[in-house]
Structures are given as structure tokens and as C-alpha cells.
Structure 1
Amino acid sequence: MKTRQLTELAQQLRVDSVRAADAAGSGHPTSSMSAADLMAVLLAHHLRYDFERPAHPANDRFILSKGHASPLLYAAYKAAGAINETELLTYRKLGSRLEGHPTPRRLPWVETATGSLGQGLPVGVGVALAGQRLDRTGYRVWVLCGDSELAEGSVWEAAEHAGYEHLDNLIAIVDVNRLGQRGPTRHGHDLDAYARRFRAFDWHTVEVDGHDVEAVDRACAEAESTTGAPTVILARTLKGKGVRAVQDHEGLHGKPLPDPAEAIAELGGVRDLRVEVQPPPAARTLHPVHSGHLELPRYEVGDEVPTRDAYGQALAALGSARGDIVALDGEVGDSTRAEYFGKEHPDRYFQCYIAEQLMVAAAVGMATRGWVPYASTFAAFLTRAHDFVRMASISGSGINLVGSHAGCAIGQDGPSQMGLEDLAMLRAVHGSTVLYPCDANQTAKLVAAMADQDGIRYLRTTRGKTPVVYGPTEEFPVGGSKVLRASFEDRLTIVAAGVTVHEALAAADALAEEGLRVRVIDLYSVKPVDRATLREAAARTGALLTVEDHHEEGGLGDAVLDAFLDGRPVPRLARLAVRTMPGSATPAEQLHAAGIDAGSVMAAARLLVEHAVLV
């Protein structure tokens, strides 16, 4: 397109943004209007994309990090012929694909859900890493950011990593329109303030007038020709550009224009320009899905093996069998044992350093390209990335998260290192799978099973050695459990997972010597939970006792309780969990102090059975 045509296209994008928000009665048209020239140039001259084949391996990838500017994105889809006029005006309505913030669950051209600001660039780093080191098809990753979100620390985790990795296939465009939700941004229109920060992380920077389509066009071309470094285009723009009543005015964020008909007339009226987006070059996907027979590690019953060791060994074996497996580390791979994978498959191992938000976001980015990521760190540190996990679920992303050093059983390191909230956090994520193995063979099988699950999958591993109680041929379906002790004389069921399984078994054996028979269930699948087995146990024994190395809120006990919330009578239920703030002590001392060791289980079991008899 020539300059005049680009300007006309930008005006069309503004008009359609105004119309969509007006039809919805809500939205962010002014945030869309500021970036209209940027989008027009990108769509018409630089994006290489086949809308008929969104999975084309050579398609450029576009991420709208400022997801509230969705009217602009949908207006661009209309200009490209991907949606029509009728659909544009369904924006934000019930049943419409055009949600207030775009998600890939609804639209095949959306890479990742955005709207929680500061996530687009980190996910873009993951997509760019996949393009550079895995796919190798030459696509570019374009990320349109807002200036307000540059206050987020995750943006700078991404910026540093992109510079370190020399991701010259990554191009960020920042719409510096000066105004945030409640007023001016920290740096306003000071482009150099942003440029200094990006240059400090080894980015190539270009500063432009974001409403000069020729200057924007040159900046995009410069970014495409830059090698050895990512590029950021810092574009000075005006919020609400083109309509005097709203242009560069405060107090209008997230509101339809007060007089849309007048605004549309001022912008030159409704248009119906169509853009022929450049097609991607011919390419094929190079990475295999399955490349060999899976030989998981095998452990002998009675051996003592940390489940974190089994995780690392099983992941390395899975990587040998499947070429689509990748691993990401938060600079604790020697502790999580993810480094076992890195040593065997260095080309598919990504060191994200101590940047857990970036690690999860990069995993999401790689998953968009068809890779199956396993991202590992201490369970406690995944809390820092919870918003990224939440947004990954909204995206419908399939990623595997592994948290080691869980619970007070880690011992002397103290509470800052203890994952005591992780089960609750991951159970609360929509559509998630939460697994907590108690021994090495169980861990290995579950590591392999995770790869073929949908949504967010979480595996909790243990730092210390635990006895192997299952043989290497035992199977552990997701959603299942194992009954480890049972008799017709059982007076109580103890439900445990992970490290507390061994405490429950010791307690059950000691109680049996006293003449008190109890059933023991290893509830390794915390979500989905094995309702049938729990209900049968409740019916046969009359009472349940849960024991978990986790806070009592949201963990194993709540997962068990959920099995009885269908209107049927709830069995007698008692819960043992970590209710105090731990300090530093040995693992055995920690379990005892928390009241979740074998002795505590025995005492609680006796009391529960005695109380049931008295009642």
C-alpha cells in the first residue's frame, strides 16, 4: 500500500474500533485508536501470515500484549477478511468469538490470552526461542505492547532474556500513548527513558512518531534487517488519536466514545478496505512427535529414592522417546533434577535463570508451537508465577509444571523454601491436573502420563529419599488412587499422598499390632480425585482421616471433601495438615512438629475411632 492507503487503512481501524465498542456498550476504543497506524503498517507491509492456515509453520506470530485493545485486533481481522462486518459488531456479546480480551480458545489466530498486562512479551520470548532453536523456519514474532505495562517486572525478565539469547526474530512495538487507566504513565512520552532501559538489555531500539506511517514502515524494515539482537520500536502516539473530543484526554480509558457518530464522521466515515496480507514462505515442521520406544527408569521395591531423582531420570527418558519434549529450568535444575534432561538433550533444554514468570510464560510460548514443555522449580517459587499459570489456563495451554522441595519435609531450609500452598494454588486453576507421587516408580509413570494430558499439569516431588513401595510394572492412571492397606475389619480410612503415604503406612501397621485395623489410600491424583474409591472407603469404614504435608486450606483434605459434595451424607472426617509456621529442623522433626508423622496419625486415628464408638 502507498502512504495514503496506509493512512486510510489506519482510519478504518479506528472507525471499526469505535463501532465495535459502541455496539458492545463497553471496551477500549481510545487505546485501540492510538495504535491504529502501527497495526495498519504491520498488517499491510510486514506481517507474513496465512489466515486460512493459522498453523502454517512459517507464519509470523503476532501477540497483542495490550489485550484490552482488542477492538483494534478485531478490526484488523476484518480488514484481512478473517471476520466479517456482522461478526465485528458482536464484540463482547454472549456467544461471540470476539471477547473483551482475545483468547486462542475462541480464535485460531490468537497466540495466547492477554489482558493481564506484562505477559505478551514473556510469552513472545518463548515463541521466539522456539523459532530460533527448535522450529528453525524463520518466522518473526511481533509483540504489540502498551507503555503502562512496562512497569511490570515480567516485561524486564523477558527483555533481559531476549537480549541474552540474541533473539533477532523478536520485535516489540510499544504504543507509547502516555496515558494509563487512571492518568499519565510514569515516563509519559519520554521515549528515551524506555530506550535506555531496553538498550541496557542489549536490544536494538528505534524511536518513531507512531502516527507517521512512513516512519513506522521504515522502523519495521529496520527491525527485520537487524541481526544478533531483538528490536523494540518505541512509537510516540496519542490515545484516542483522530477525535478531538477524546484525543490525549484523561479519564476515558475503557469507555466507548461519548458521541460515536460524530467521531466516525470526524475520522472520515465507515470504510471497507481489504488488505492482502503477505503469505508466509514455504516451510515444513521439523520436530518429531514420537521418535522411539519409551524406557522409563525402574526401581526395586524397598530401595530409597527421592521422587525428584525419579522425575529427572524419567524426563530424560521421555525426551529420548519423544522429540517434542522440552524442559525449562529456573536455575535450580541440580535440585529439581531437570538437569538430567539437559545433559542428554541440551538442544531442548532452556535455562531461564531465577525468573519464574518468564519460565512459565516461555513454556506457554513453546506450547503454542506444538512443543510439550516441562518447567521445573521449587514448589514454593511457583507462587511467584501464579498469574502466568492462570492466564495459561485461559489460553487453553498445555504445559507441565513440576514443583520440588515440597512441604515441611524438606527440613532445615525453613519455611521460605517450603511449598505449602502449591496444591491449593494449582487445584484452583481451571481444568488443571494435580499429581503427588509417593515413590520413584509412581513418579516415573506419572511424568510420562502428564505429557498426554490437557491443560495445566502439576507434579509435586519430594526432596528426601522415600521407600519404593510399588513395582516398576504398576500403572497409575490420572484420576486414580491406590489402596495399600485394606481388610473387612477396617474401622477408619487414612488418605495420604506423597511423603505422608509412608507415615500412614507406618501408622497403619503399628495400629494393626494394637488390634485396630485401618485402610490406607494413596491419593496420588489430587485432581481429578478418585471419588469412587473414597466413597467406597467411607461406606465400609465410616470415617476418613486425611494427612498432608501442606496447609489445610485447599490441599488434600479439601480434595477428599469434594468427593462428598453431591448431596449424599458426608462421612466423619478429620484432617491433619501443617497448621503452624515451621522453622528449621530435621525432616523427621518437622513432620512431628506439624503433627503429620506416623505417631500423630496413630493418635488421631485412635481418637477418631474412640469418638465414633462413644457417639
Structure 2
Amino acid sequence: YRVFCLVSDGESSEGSVWEAMAFASYYSLDSLVAIFDVNRLGHSGALPSKHCIDVCQRRCQAFGWNTYVVDGRDVEALCQVFWQASWVRHKPTAVVAKTFKGRGTPLVEDAESWHGKPMPRERADAIMKLIESQIETKRNFDPQPPIKDSPEISIMDVRMTSPPDYRVGDKIATRKACGLALAKLGNANDRVIVLDGDTKYSTFSEIFNRGYPERFIECFMAEQNMVSVVALGCASHGRTIAFASTFAAFLTRAFDQLQMGALSESNVNIIGSHCGVSVDSWGSMGAYQKVCVLACKCMVFFSIVRIGIVHSVLLALYQVLRHRVSDKVTVSGAGITVYEASAAGKTGLHIFIRVIDLFTIKPLDVTTIISSAKATEGRVITVEDHYPQGGIGEAVDAAVSTDPDIKVHSLAVSGVPQSGKPKELLDTCGISARHIVVAVKRMLLN
């Protein structure tokens, strides 16, 4: 089939449009046609290129697209270039169509300040009659829907052929465990595809690439395009299980696309590696923003435990890692702070704490949090390797807000973290085992 994408000249000011243009040209997507509606006007006024059709034409050609220029109101001319585009090979096609907003409407055609405004009723009736008088046929068009001749495919029941093969005491980078898990999924189901933003040797998605190169898509350092055009597009027909992988900090460039994917209920999986201060031996590559930006219709996982990495692509999960009847404080963390919380409970200083791994940040396991809080006399401490805004602390606080007997104290990153060794950075930012012990003692005193 062929894909037609209508792009406004105002929208083409977005960098994501040109990320997509470069991607389509690189991969020779000759089944793709983009129609640029060049009508001169944006929401607030005239656009920079106005009606300079040659500017848009030269840009499209510079990006390696086969390009046609037409009168956007000439249906026959549009049909002709669409037919010509169907014969072009190894290049996507751009159709630069010159149009006028409100064409044929007195005092409205090509006029500013009409974008998104309703027409006054006293003028609307006259304009409708004018438009009806210009219709040259009384034929009723009844286009037929496209024939769906592709075989039915189910991507709902995906199971790994074997569990992870790790031994107790093994040390392995979380990102490598993630790469191995993706490769296992690829082996289990041939509908799994992986996309990466020029970070495959850091995220270890190259393990999947080595095994299944025909199902690996290199998107280069264009995260908005990777998320929207590629990942969401690949998942839109329910025929692939798409994973998009890059540094979590780089995904901040694609929040708009992530939000639109969530609102569209797209079944796509986004993997952000190198989260938090504990990875800043890389030189300030850590992501310190939190899950508030993914709060709409998303499931959000945060794991550092290797088995959790595998489960993250299959199900929601929480785990009470440490509990006793004598526990006095509940400590909840995710990722590396779970280890710090466990270490705090093993200091031998009679710190009786219950440790919860909030592996699934959204949806949050409110029942387990509240029951653990009540078992520890309403004392809860959250520890996160990120900024507090929109993070675990706020999520837990909101979950227990209806119970006045539960008090939540949050430990999180403040300020701008620096480069350094993981243990040093955790301690400097106040989220190490030592700081957890201090927080527990203070809470017990109060």
C-alpha cells in the first residue's frame, strides 16, 4: 500500500518534520507521499516563507525527495502527480501544493486572523449558498474502503521460550540485561522489532541487531522521529511489537510524541537507559526528570533487578523484598535505590525497615503501599534517584493522602548532579544507605 501524509506549511516549522524527511530519504521509502499545503498563513499571521513555493520545493529536494509543485485546488493536477509518484522508485515523493485559506469567500480569502474562528451566522448562510453554487456535479461519491488482504496476526500472547539464565552473585549492567531480554523476545516472536537512536552499543540493543538485523531499525539521533513516525507508526496496525530504545535523557526531546502516543493508546514500548545520578560517570548523561510526563494512559516500569528487566516487557510487578513483624518504617524505592534501602536494613544498627521495590511506578500498587504503611505505624520513606517533582515520592504521597495517619518523607536528588563514581554521587545527593538510616532514625524520633 501507499502512505499519504498531509503536512501544513505552519507545521513544517517543526524540526520533527525534517527528521522524518531525512529518515524517509535515507531508507528510500518510495511508497510515501507527503503533500505540503502551502497557504501562507499560520495561526497568528503570515509564515516566514509565505507563498514562496520554491523555498519549500528546494528544501524537499535537498532532503532527497522527488518533488512536484502543483495548484492545490486543481484536482486533476493532484491526481496526475499522485499517479506519477506511484512510478518513482527509491525516493519518497513530496507534493508542494499552493493553496489559499478561505478560497472564494469574500473578505476571508487569504486574510489573516480567521484561523480557528467561527463564521458569524449572518454571513455563514450566504457563504454556504456561494459554495453550493460552485459545485459542478450532482453525483454522489461513494468511495470503497481498501481491501484488507493481509493475514490475521495476533501479538497478544507472547511468551519467552526460556527464563533468564543468571546466577546469584553475577554482576551485569542493567542495560545489557535489557539487551539480552530483547533478544530473547525476538527469538520467541518474529513480530518483535527494535528501534534505536544511534545508541545501540550503549543500550545493548546491538545484541538484538546481531541476531535479527532485518527487524532492527536505526533511527539515528532523531528521537522525535523515532517515537512518532517509526515506533508509533509501526505499532499502529497491531502487527508488530515495537520497542524504541535510547538514553532516557534524550527521550525528553520527544515528550510531545510520547503524549500523543499515550492519548492514542498506541501499543508501543519505550526504553530509556542511563537514568539518575548513579550513571553520571558517563558525564552528566543521566536523566533526572520523572514519570509525571508519562502520566497519561501509560504503564511505567523502573527496574534495576535483572529479572525485573525481563518482566518489564511482559507484566506489571511489585515486590516486598524485606519484611518482618517488628518493622517500624516502610522504605519504598525503585532501581538502584532499592539496593540502598536493602543495605540500610542490613547495617546492624537495629534499623527495622520494610523494603518495597516499586518496580511498577504506573499503575502504582496502592494496596501494598497502604498495607505496609499501616504495618509500620504509618511511617513511609521514599527514595529515588531523580528529582522529586512528579516522582515516586509524590505518587506515594498522593496514594496515601486519604489516610491522615500515614506520613511520607521523600529522599530525592536536588540541585544539578556532577560527574563522579556512583557510590559517591548517591551519597552526595542524599539518597545512599547512610542517608536512609538517618531519615529512618529521625522519623522514629518524631
TM range (shorter): over 0.9
Aligned to 1:421: 289
Q: Does residue 142 of structure 1 match 2:4? A: yes
Decide which of 51, 71, 76 is 1:209's aligned counterpart: 71
Aligned to 1:350: 217
Matched residue type, 1:154: S
Deviations along 1:403-427, one digit per CA (max 9) or x if unpaired, are: 1000000022333x1111043322x
Task: Tell me, in whole angstroms, the C-alpha distance in 2 between the residues paired with 1:250 and 1:209.
Answer: 21
Decide which of 270, 283, 301 is 2:168's aligned counterpart: 301
Listed as ranges, the gaps of 5+ residues in structure 1 are 1-138, 450-477
Matched residue type, 1:364: L
Task: Tell me, in whole angstroms, the C-alpha distance in 2 between the residues paired with 1:485 and 1:408.
Answer: 25
Deviations along 1:152-186, one digit per CA (max 9) or x if unpaired, are: 10000000110111111000111111111111111
Task: Tell me, in whole angstroms, the C-alpha distance in 1 between the residues paired with 2:393 and 2:220.
Answer: 34
Deviations along 1:207-226, one digit per CA (max 9) or x if unpaired, are: 01112222222111111221
Matched residue type, 1:236: K
Aligned to 2:351: 516
Contact kept, 8 Å, 2:290 with 2:390, in 1: the verdict is no
Aligned length: 438
Aligned to 2:416: 581
Deviations along 1:219-259, one digit per CA (max 9) or x if unpaired, are: 11111221110001101111101212211111111112231
Offset at residue 603 of structure 1 (A) = 1.2
Matched residue type, 2:194: A
Task: Tell me, in whole angstroms, the C-alpha distance in 2 between the residues paired with 1:603 and 1:333.
Answer: 40
Q: Does residue 263 of structure 1 match 2:127? A: yes
Aligned to 1:442: 308
Residues 73-472 of structure 1: matches in 2 within 5 Å? 139-258=1-120, 259-269=123-133, 273-277=139-143, 280=146, 283-285=149-151, 289=155, 294-361=161-228, 362-370=230-238, 371-415=240-284, 417-426=285-294, 428=295, 430-449=296-315
Task: Tell me, in whole angstroms, the C-alpha distance in 1 between the residues paired with 2:132 and 2:154.
Answer: 51
* TM-aligned CA distance change 1:292 to 1:436, over 3 Å: closer
Task: Tell me, in whole angstroms, the C-alpha distance in 2 between the residues paired with 1:378 and 1:150.
Answer: 26
Matched residue type, 2:400: F
Matched residue type, 2:208: F
**SS of the residue 1:218 aligns to:** helix
Offset at residue 283 of structure 1 (A) = 2.8
Q: Does residue 546 of structure 1 match 2:375? A: no
Listed as ranges, the gaps of 5+ residues in structure 2 are none
Contact kept, 8 Å, 2:193 with 2:215, in 1: the verdict is yes
Q: Does residue 556 of structure 1 match 2:392? A: yes
Contact kept, 8 Å, 1:383 with 1:422, in 2: the verdict is no
Decide which of 481, 489, 496 is 2:333's aligned counterpart: 496
Contact kept, 8 Å, 2:318 with 2:359, in 1: the verdict is yes
Normalised by the size of structure 2, how large is the TM-score? Answer: 0.94
Normalised by the size of structure 1, how large is the TM-score? Answer: 0.69
Matched residue type, 1:533: T
Offset at residue 291 of structure 1 (A) = 8.6
Matched residue type, 1:495: S
**SS of the residue 1:235 aligns to:** strand
Offset at residue 286 of structure 1 (A) = 7.8
Task: Tell me, in whole angstroms, the C-alpha distance in 2 between the residues paired with 1:368 and 1:570.
Answer: 46
Offset at residue 277 of structure 1 (A) = 2.4
Task: Tell me, in whole angstroms, the C-alpha distance in 1 between the residues paired with 2:300 and 2:63.
Answer: 37
Matched residue type, 1:447: V
Offset at residue 570 of structure 1 (A) = 4.7
Aligned to 1:32: none
**SS of the residue 1:376 aligns to:** strand
**SS of the residue 1:267 aligns to:** helix
* TM-aligned CA distance change 1:353 to 1:226, over 3 Å: same
Structure of higher RCO (CA pairs closer than 8 Å, 6+ residues apart): 1
* TM-aligned CA distance change 1:294 to 1:358, over 3 Å: same
* TM-aligned CA distance change 1:149 to 1:304, over 3 Å: same
Task: Tell me, in whole angstroms, the C-alpha distance in 1 between the residues paired with 2:154 and 2:319.
Answer: 35
Deviations along 1:89-139, one digit per CA (max 9) or x if unpaired, are: xxxxxxxxxxxxxxxxxxxxxxxxxxxxxxxxxxxxxxxxxxxxxxxxxx0
Quote the RMSD (CA, aligned, Å).
Answer: 1.8
Contact kept, 8 Å, 1:318 with 1:448, in 2: the verdict is no
* TM-aligned CA distance change 1:521 to 1:281, over 3 Å: closer
Contact kept, 8 Å, 1:489 with 1:517, in 2: the verdict is yes
Contact kept, 8 Å, 2:8 with 2:36, in 1: the verdict is yes
Deviations along 1:448-476, one digit per CA (max 9) or x if unpaired, are: 33xxxxxxxxxxxxxxxxxxxxxxxxxxx
Contact kept, 8 Å, 1:526 with 1:556, in 2: the verdict is yes
More helix by share: 1
Offset at residue 348 of structure 1 (A) = 1.1
